[in-house]
Structure 1
Amino acid sequence: AGMLERAVRGPRVLDKPYYRKFVPKVEWGWMLVAGMVIGAFISARLSDTFVWRWVPEVWEQAFGAAVAPRLLMAFGGGVL
């Protein structure tokens, strides 16, 4: 949140005491997530299994090809 606010507000983000104490910066957690995404993409490309799709095949067979219910369930799962 702090890095997003810094992108919008610039250095004024440091006006908040919390962000003065905990300066928003890219740390190991961000690099871990970025590495997982990049690694998964490279792996899928090398194995020739990379396909752009909104609805996975298993979901489509069970619930149909509609995108909206899939996104709603993904959002609900994220909330849980």
Structure 2
Amino acid sequence: MVLKLEQRKVELVDQVAAKVRDRLAREKAKLAEAFVRQFYANVPPTTCCAPARTSCTARPSPSGSSPAAAPAGSRWSAS
């Protein structure tokens, strides 16, 4: 199991590095890729490769409707 997680972590970091190379200019991509690889070097595979879970606090509202919108003009409103 540990080896599978380690391999999955390598694959995920490689995917992120590939996206960096695709989206940035060559010199910026080199720096960004180095950052990504260094950033994730000490992240345990169980952290970055854990199965996706829904939030424990995310619950549908009893009425089935969306949560109330932020008041207009507040920093959280869409406008």
Q: What TM-score does the superposition give when structure 1 sets the normalisation length?
A: 0.28
Q: Which has the higher contact order (CA 8 A, sep 6+)?
A: 2
Q: What TM-score does the superposition give when structure 2 sets the normalisation length?
A: 0.28
